[in-house]
Amino acid sequence: MLLVVFCQPECRGEVTLDDIEFTYPSRPDAIILRGLTVTIKPGQRVALVGQSGCGKSTCVSLVERFYDTSRGCVRIDGVDIRSLDVQWVRAQLALVSQEPVLFNTTIYDNIAYGDNTRTPTMDEVIDVAKKANIHNFIASLPLGYDTTVGEGGSQLSGGQKQRIAISRALLRNPRILLLDEATSALDTESEKVCSYRRPWNEHRKAALAS
């Protein structure tokens, strides 16, 4: 799981999980998180590492406010997100999950969907594809960015789907980018690119990774 905070004038970009305790409503006796405190400042990257089921993805759900904490709170720029409009909070976010959703249309359309308020230029789409280390693969295809990916991205490998989804999220340029196991299917070279050539560094974003 990777949380990237985009520093914009409307959202300074500090995310804090403050003394979090959480249990799912369906399992009130099973404590998923207890006493978790993490602050991600603009320009900082923080990793969450742990075994499966330890609560890393739960942190993503709490930032998205799919659930409220049992104790403690999540803050954006020092403000408890429970006091913020939930639609505003989610408008600041883009999520790339382990199994990203792709549509049965072209690669260009799948990436361009990241900003559905306008029609992105091909140069913009290529730029984010390069940052996600997928451009060379796309350029090698006979139809390039006009290649249809198939239902659910069936014509692509898991790693290729994840990189296209990362490209889409980068094009949207949200305040907070959540990558929840979003590099699990990447090959070694692509994972190295995502790990060390952070495409969000030039925007001074902070990152929480697991």
Residue 53 has a pLDDT of 83
3-class DSSP assignment, residue 126: helix
Range of the domain at 58: 1-91
Q: What is the pLDDT of residues 3-54, one digit of tens each?
A: 655 554 478 778 999 999 999 999 999 999 999 999 988 766 777 778 888 8
Residue 40 has a pLDDT of 85
CATH number at residue 45: 3.40.50.300
Residue listed under structure tokens 């905070």 = 5
Q: What is the pLDDT of residues 156-205, one digit of tens each?
A: 999 999 999 999 999 988 888 888 875 555 555 555 545 534 555 544 45
Convert 118-128 to b/e letters by CB count within 10 Å (16 or more is b): eebeeebbbbb
Q: What is the pLDDT of residues 41-97, one digit of tens each?
A: 876 677 777 888 889 889 989 999 999 999 999 999 999 999 999 988 888 888 888
The answer to whether residue 164 is domain-embedded is: no
CA-based torsion, 131, 134, 140, 144: positive or negative: negative
The answer to whether residue 44 is domain-embedded is: yes
Instruction: Give yes or no for residue 135 having a pLDDT over 90.
Output: yes
pTM over 0.85? The answer is no
Q: Are 156 and 100 in contact (CB under 8 A)?
A: no
The whole-angstrom separation of Cα 23 and Cα 26 is 8
The answer to whether residue 12 is domain-embedded is: yes
| Span 110-124, average pLDDT | 95
Residue 10 has a pLDDT of 73
Residue 185 has a pLDDT of 52
Name the more confident of 98 and 120: 120
Number of domains comprising the chain:
1
DSSP line for 165-202: HHHHHHHH--SEEEESSTTTT--HHHHHHHHHS-TTGG
Instruction: Give yes or no for residue 105 having a pLDDT over 60.
Output: yes
Residue 145 has a pLDDT of 98
The answer to whether residue 23 is domain-embedded is: yes
The answer to whether residue 73 is domain-embedded is: yes
The answer to whether residue 45 is domain-embedded is: yes
